[in-house]
């Protein structure tokens, strides 16, 4: 009995190690030639400003007046870093609350809430999305590898991205 | 089990009391309400079952509830009061801990009240109350509820007999014996179902013009208790329906806990939950007073 348990534990541990052992080795070019890789990160929730009446009182109180949760910040990153790596580093430093889950089916993480504003807080089609250089990539934020000079914006949508101009139909 | 005066009341009173206590425990998530319900439920179960019975019936709950209270903040990170961060950067928040505690207390209170309900609201009362409205279902419910303890008792007696005949020496033998006992009990249960079906048929079950024997009379004291129950229930439920007992766990703990209306509602709710215990105490006092005069 004990031996079976041991074998099961061993298999589990091995499979976890294999799952974690992916590393991104692709080199990212330093395009502006300053010797550092930098990007900017911003977190906004403009869409919520007009829809405060559709949220609960407690949630509406959390929406900042200008819709900016995190002002545009210049961030240095390492080659191969994903959007999520930069995001979690900056938000931890700025002490802004966020919650994510590992969506293993998509091999990425999913950000459920930032600053206690969560998915579904403003209707069934609401949640967080991100754009890089103005384009919504439709990719998990931990699978998108950054390039030098990228502009990342996290924005809250109330309509699956249509109100942000992220149209996947095209 | 102690002689419970509340059990002697009319089944309607018992039924309405338990519906109110369980319903309000499960649907009002206000922390003070939950505490009141939990404490009164425990006190009543302690009165009904005694110390030993109480711990046997709900002792296993303690680790489960502690697990529940711990698990919520591990998987739920909403809330503005960040206490510390998990290694994966998700925060542990005060709000999630409070919510976990509250849901554990709610779960515990509901189970404790169900235990009280099982002791007080026996199957003959179920048949009496619902025998006319839903005869087949109420019979089925009371038979099913009866089946579980009967099955357990029979299984225990089979195991005891087996052990008296031959004490198992190793794990394999113990396993074999347990399997044999289980199979014997299952075949006994099947046989019993046929026997009881035959027995019911030969007593004319399903025939017309059957009457049921019951000794329940709706007395004046039942009426008084029912009115009192209704008043206390209204005093506890109406503030909730008007949103005065509103309490929010996420994103921040908010709501009024100790305003005048709230305190009044707590008294009503406490009175309601403790009604059986109060009746019992009054009955005990009466009994003692009468006895000492003789």
Same domain assignment for residues B122 and B165: no
Rounded to an integer, what distance in angstroms lies between the CA atom of residue A79 and that of residue A2?
45
Instruction: Provide the pLDDT confidence category of residue A33 given band limits of 50, 70 and 90.
Output: low
Q: Is position B211 within any domain?
A: no
Q: Which chain B residues are closer than 8 Å to A98 by Cβ?
A: 91
Same domain assignment for residues B103 and B237: yes
Q: Of how many residues is chain A composed?
A: 170
For A54, counting Cβ atoms within 10 Å of its Cβ (0-12 exposed, 13-18 middle, 19+ buried), the class is middle
Instruction: Enter the tokens of residue B263.
Output: 């305190």
Could you tell me how far CA B85 lies from the centroid of its own chain?
Answer: 38
Query: What does the pLDDT average to over A113-134?
Result: 92
> Which of B136, B165, B198 is the C-terminal boundary of a domain?
B198
Same domain assignment for residues B112 and B232: yes
B139 vs A90 pLDDT, higher one: A90
Same domain assignment for residues B121 and B232: yes
Show the domains of chain A with their CATH numbers: 40-164 (2.170.130.30)
User: Hey, is the C-beta of A95 within 8 angstroms of any chain B C-beta?
Assistant: yes
Same domain assignment for residues B180 and B278: no
**What ipTM, to 2 d.p.?**
0.74
Q: Is position B53 within any domain?
A: yes
Q: Is the N-terminal amide bond of B93 cis, ω within 30° of 0?
A: no
Please tell me whether the overall predicted TM-score, pTM, comes out greater than 0.95 for this model. no
Same domain assignment for residues B18 and B112: yes
> Has residue A143 got a pLDDT over 70?
yes
How many CB contacts within 8 angstroms connect chain A with chain B? Answer: 33
- Identify the domain containing residue B249 by its residue range: 6-127+217-293
> Has residue B70 got a pLDDT over 50?
yes
Rounded to an integer, what distance in angstroms lies between the CA atom of residue B210 and that of residue B208?
6
Q: Which of B76, B77, B248 to mutate: most A Cβ within 10 Å?
A: B77
pLDDT given for residue B88 in this prediction: 86
A116–B80: do the CB atoms touch at under 8 Å?
yes
Q: Of how many residues is chain B composed?
A: 294
> Has residue A20 got a pLDDT over 50?
no
Mean pLDDT of chain B: 90
> Which of B165, B198, B231 is the C-terminal boundary of a domain?
B198
Q: Is position B226 within any domain?
A: yes
Q: Is position B282 within any domain?
A: yes
Same domain assignment for residues B168 and B102: no
pLDDT given for residue A120 in this prediction: 92
Same domain assignment for residues B230 and B188: no
Rounded to an integer, what distance in angstroms lies between the CA atom of residue A164 and that of residue A138?
13
**Considering Cα of B87, then B89, then B92, then B96, what sign does the dihedral take?**
negative
A95–B254: do the CB atoms touch at under 8 Å?
no
Task: For the beta carbon of residue B279, count every other beta carbon within 10 angstroms.
Answer: 19
Rounded to an integer, what distance in angstroms lies between the CA atom of residue B250 and that of residue A115?
12
Instruction: Enter the tokens of residue B116.
Output: 């009280």
B177-190 in b/e form (b: 16+ CB < 10 A) is beeebeebbeeeee
pLDDT given for residue A8 in this prediction: 63
Q: Structural domain tally of chain B? A: 2
Choose the closest CB to B79 out of A88, A100, A116. A116
Same domain assignment for residues B223 and B279: yes
A125-157 in b/e form (b: 16+ CB < 10 A) is ebbbbbbbeeebeeebbbebbbebebebbbbbb
pLDDT given for residue B251 in this prediction: 87
Instruction: Enter the tokens of residue A8.
Output: 């099961």
Beta strands in B130-171, from DSSP E residues, in sequence order:
none
Choose the closest CB to B251 out of A59, A95, A100. A59
pLDDT given for residue A23 in this prediction: 45
Query: What does the pLDDT average to over B174-190?
Result: 94
A92–B252: do the CB atoms touch at under 8 Å?
no
* Among B3-7, B25-29, B92-96, the least confident range: B3-7
Same domain assignment for residues B76 and B154: no
Instruction: Enter the tokens of residue B238.
Output: 């109406």
Do the Cβ atoms of B115 and B76 come closer than 8 Å? Answer: no
**Closest alpha carbon to A54 in A167, A159, A164:** A159
Over residues B218-267, the pLDDT tens digits come to 999 999 999 999 999 999 999 999 988 889 888 888 888 898 999 999 99
B250–A116: do the CB atoms touch at under 8 Å?
yes
Over residues A150-164, the pLDDT tens digits come to 999 999 999 888 888
């Amino acid at each position: 009995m004990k031996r079976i348990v041991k074998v099961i534990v061993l298999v589990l541990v091995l499979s976890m190690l294999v799952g974690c052992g992916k590393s991104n080795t692709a080199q990212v070019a330093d395009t502006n030639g300053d010797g550092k890789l930098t990007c900017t990160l911003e977190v906004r929730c403009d869409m919520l400003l007009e829809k405060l009446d559709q949220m609960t009182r407690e949630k509406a109180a959390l929406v900042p007046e200008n819709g900016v949760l995190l002002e545009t910040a210049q961030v240095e990153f390492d080659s191969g870093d994903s959007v999520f790596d930069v995001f979690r580093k900056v938000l931890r430093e700025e002490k802004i609350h966020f919650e994510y889950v590992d969506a293993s089916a998509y091999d990425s993480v999913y950000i459920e809430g930032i600053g206690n504003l969560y998915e579904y807080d403003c209707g069934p089609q609401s949640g967080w999305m991100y754009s890089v250089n103005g384009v919504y990539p439709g990719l998990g934020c931990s699978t998108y590898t950054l390039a030098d000079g990228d502009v990342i914006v996290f924005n809250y949508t109330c309509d699956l991205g249509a109100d942000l101009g992220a149209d996947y139909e095209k | 089990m102690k002689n419970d005066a509340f059990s002697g009341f009319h089944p309607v009173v018992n039924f309405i009391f338990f519906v109110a206590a369980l319903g309000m425990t499960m649907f009002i998530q206000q922390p003070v309400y939950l505490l009141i319900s939990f404490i009164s439920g425990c006190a009543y179960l302690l009165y009904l079952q005694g110390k030993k019975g109480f711990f046997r019936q709900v002792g296993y709950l303690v680790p489960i509830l502690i697990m529940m209270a711990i698990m919520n903040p591990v998987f739920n990170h909403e809330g503005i009061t960040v206490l510390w961060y998990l290694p994966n950067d998700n925060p542990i928040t005060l709000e999630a801990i409070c919510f976990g505690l509250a849901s554990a207390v709610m779960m515990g209170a509901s189970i404790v009240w169900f235990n009280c309900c099982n002791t007080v609201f026996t199957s003959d009362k179920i048949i009496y109350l619902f025998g006319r409205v839903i005869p087949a279902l109420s019979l089925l419910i009371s038979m099913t509820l009866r089946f579980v303890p009967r099955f357990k008792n029979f299984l225990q007696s089979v195991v005891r007999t087996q052990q008296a005949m031959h004490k198992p020496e190793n794990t394999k033998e113990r396993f074999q014996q347990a399997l044999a006992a289980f199979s014997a009990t299952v075949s006994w249960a099947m046989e019993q179902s046929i026997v009881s079906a035959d027995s019911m048929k030969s007593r004319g079950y399903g025939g017309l013009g059957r009457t049921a024997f019951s000794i329940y009379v709706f007395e004046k004291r039942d009426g008084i208790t029912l009115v009192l129950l209704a008043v206390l229930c209204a005093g506890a439920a109406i503030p909730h329906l008007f949103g005065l007992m509103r309490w929010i766990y996420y994103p921040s703990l908010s709501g009024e806990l100790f305003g005048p209306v709230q305190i009044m509602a707590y008294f009503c709710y406490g009175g309601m939950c403790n009604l059986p215990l109060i009746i019992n105490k009054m009955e005990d006092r009466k009994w003692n007073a009468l006895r000492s005069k003789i």
